Structure 1
Amino acid sequence: MDIDKKKIFKVLDPNRIWIPILLGLGIVFYLFYSDPNITADNLHLIFDAKLSSVLVAFLVLLARDAGYAYRIRVLSDHELNWSKSIVIIILWEFSSAVTPSVVGGTAVAVFIFMAEGINVGKSLAYVMLTAIMDNLFFVIAAPLVMLFTHGLIFPEVSAMDIQYGSSLQFFFFLSYALIAVYTLIMSYALFVRPRAFKWFLLKMTSLKYLKKWKEKANQYGDEIILASSGLKGKATSYWVKISAATVFIWSARYLMLNSLVEAYHTLTISEHMVVFSRQVIMWIVMLISPTPGSSGTAEYFFNQFFYEYLGDYTFVSSIFWRLMSYYPYLILGAIFLPRWVRSKFFKKDKKATS
């Protein structure tokens, strides 16, 4: 697989990567200024947060990113060192932040791995395996949290419009079904019968109305076969470490918000479980968001899911939440990405021509 450097750099042009960033910020600021309940008094509530809980949230966030870097190292059989793994995470999170959740940053992630010296098959395998493991976490965690919370996982419909309550559940089950089916198909293709999956794709695109996608289907089938071969022969400890890292990463992501809620409202153990569980449901719904980084969608659902615990502190808590989980990666990505592209490709080209 050849990399068209000029085409890649055009996509990652520092003069263009600000467009999705500004779009996401614009959506948030529009919601901010159009909300009549947002006043100077409400914004001042941010200073009522317990500093200890905010610090815990920050430490949990660092632990989550460390978990991401550790998983990258395990995926690559320690072929990538800590510094490279951290850069990959920053760029991957940035690409996810500037693309709609339904698209994600997986295509960019493959390119990043390849640029760091990982061959095509392994790069595809690492990204596909990461997507499968993350989705598998949702598929398994969602029914478990619904069982443990005894129906408290969705916000009280009485506190909002009945139609909204039913729509929320509809979007959840729709998202869950799509994720479950996708995970099942990709797991079968990657781990069981990659060649059979390619055959199926070619047969499907042989139909009259799907022929225009046959070339892409053939390419995607080849990629699946390459990725599958890159995962053959892995030891049991490899899979155990990746699974444990995935659980740790997502648990830390959710516990960060638990800490932020605790900063304004003391939670009981059962309430902590409900807050944690609702995040699983909220993230599944957000996965079909059409906006970059789920901007607007995330803030809206945050209010619906956690208002009963936070009350007047809901808005300032959502600011904290996005400041710690979304906006840092926009800033870090905008700083690291142009320099990374130039250092990986264009400096090499200059040396080759000198």
Structure 2
Amino acid sequence: MKVDKEKVFKTLNPNKVWIPILIGVGIVAFLFYQDDTVTIDNLSLIFTAKVVPVMLAFLVLFARDVGYVYRIRTITSEKLSWKSSIYVIILWEFASAVTPSVVGGTPVAIFILMKEGLKLGKALAYTMVTAIFDNLYFVLVAPLIFLIAGGEIFPENSAIDSQFGKSLPVLFFISYGAIATYTLVMAFAVLVNPRWFKWILLRITSIKWLRKWRPYAYEQGAEIMMASKELRGKKYSYWIKITLSTLFIWTARYAMLNCVIEAFTNQNFGQHLVIFARQVIIWITMLISPTPGSSGTAEFIFTQFFREDLGAVTFISNIFWRLMTYYPYLFLGALILPRWIRRVFFEKKTKK
């Protein structure tokens, strides 16, 4: 695999932060204009936020980021320093924030890991493991939240339903099926039998009308085998740490919204379970968004899921949610990127 440096730096471009910001602000302005329940008086509810839940929201968000840093350092068998791990996570999040969700920031992550001193095979392996475990969280948790929340997961009378019928559940199940299939296939290929996976790819692309994809299949198969080789022989403790840190990261990520909503409302335990469950559905649906970092899509879907239950505070909760979970990584990435480039391209060469 050859990492295209030019394409990577087109993605890691600080100027790109304005695209998702404009899309997000545009959708928020549209929702403000279109929703009769949102008034200037309602916006003043922001000053009624309870202090403790707001503080907990920031604490949970910080804990999540610490979990990300810990996990990438663990995945790389501590070959990355704490400082390097922080750089990797911030820039990885930045890349995900400025690229469509269907594309993701994986190629950029591989490049960043390589510039932090890891060889291609290791960078491939660690990026694949991260993606597999992140997706496995949703593959395993989604059925569980259906048992917990039942029929309360999908909103009623949403704008999407009124225009396109019961499309939210359909959209979710399509996304879930695609993610589950891809994740299980990749997990088998990387962690169980990469040679068999490569053989299947080559056999499929030997069909006449699929032959043009054969070079790509060969390259993909070679990458899988390279990654699998790097992960062979890892101890059980290695996989346990990654599993537990993944559970912690994503649970903390979702618990943050529970804190935000509690700051403006009074929710009981059952209602908090529904809020948590709906976030899993929202995230899986957002994966097929064509906009950078699901900007605009996320704000719109959030409104459809929570408007009936939250009423006047839906708009404020929506803004808080995105301001805390998305926009900080746009600005952090834009600020950190020049320093990281100077560090890996100039300072390290000087030391050599």
TM-score strictly above 0.5: yes
Structure 1, 278-287 or 192-201: larger mean CA deviation: 192-201
Q: How much has 1:164 moved relative to structure 2?
A: 4.8
Q: How much has 1:161 moved relative to structure 2?
A: 4.0
The question of 1:107 aligning with 2:107 is answered: yes
Provide the residue aligned with 2:29 in structure 1.
33
RMSD: 2.1
What is the distance in 1 between the residues matched to 2:244 and 2:12? 37
Contact 1:64–1:252 at 8 Å: present in 2 too? yes
Provide the residue aligned with 1:342 in structure 2.
342
Structure 1, 77-86 or 258-267: larger mean CA deviation: 77-86
* 1:123-202 mapped onto 2 (5 Å cutoff): 123-157=123-157, 161-162=161-162, 164=164, 166-202=166-202
Fraction of identical pairs, as percent = 55
Q: How much has 1:44 moved relative to structure 2?
A: 2.3
Contact 1:265–1:309 at 8 Å: present in 2 too? no
After superposition, what is the alpha-carbon deviation per residue over 1:194-248, rounded to whole angstroms, capped at 9, x for unaligned?
Answer: 1121122222233333333322222211110010011111111111110000000
**AA matched with 1:52:** V
**AA matched with 2:251:** S
Provide the residue aligned with 2:235 in structure 1.
235
Provide the residue aligned with 2:249 in structure 1.
249
Runs (4+) off by over 3 Å: 1-5, 37-40, 157-165, 346-352
Contact 1:289–1:297 at 8 Å: present in 2 too? yes
After superposition, what is the alpha-carbon deviation per residue over 1:44-81, rounded to whole angstroms, capped at 9, x for unaligned?
Answer: 22222112111100000000000001111110111112
Q: How much has 1:156 moved relative to structure 2?
A: 2.6
Q: 1:159 to 1:322 in 2, by over 3 A?
A: closer
What is the distance in 1 between the residues matched to 2:123 and 2:160? 45
The question of 1:18 aligning with 2:15 is answered: yes
Q: How much has 1:155 moved relative to structure 2?
A: 1.4
Could you say what secondary structure the match of 2:73 adopts? Answer: helix
Q: How much has 1:340 moved relative to structure 2?
A: 1.4
TM-score of the aligned structures, taking structure 2 as reference length: 0.92
What is the distance in 2 between the residues matched to 1:120 and 1:97? 24
What is the distance in 1 between the residues matched to 2:252 and 2:288? 22
Could you say what secondary structure the match of 1:150 adopts? Answer: helix
What is the distance in 1 between the residues matched to 2:334 and 2:158? 43
Q: 1:262 to 1:131 in 2, by over 3 A?
A: same
After superposition, what is the alpha-carbon deviation per residue over 1:249-274, rounded to whole angstroms, capped at 9, x for unaligned?
Answer: 00000000000000011110111111
The question of 1:92 aligning with 2:63 is answered: no
Contact 1:71–1:242 at 8 Å: present in 2 too? yes
Q: How many residues align?
A: 348
Q: How much has 1:43 moved relative to structure 2?
A: 2.8
What is the distance in 2 between the residues matched to 1:351 and 1:143? 52
Contact 1:9–1:341 at 8 Å: present in 2 too? no
After superposition, what is the alpha-carbon deviation per residue over 1:79-128, rounded to whole angstroms, capped at 9, x for unaligned?
Answer: 11221111111001000001111111111111111111112111111111
What is the distance in 1 between the residues matched to 2:261 and 2:223? 43
What is the distance in 2 between the residues matched to 1:4 and 1:237? 35
Could you say what secondary structure the match of 1:104 adopts? Answer: coil
Contact 2:160–2:167 at 8 Å: present in 1 too? no
**AA matched with 1:27:** I
Provide the residue aligned with 2:320 in structure 1.
320
Where structure 1 has 5 or more consecutive residues not aligned to the other structure, the ranges are: none
**AA matched with 1:176:** Y
Q: How much has 1:159 moved relative to structure 2?
A: 8.9
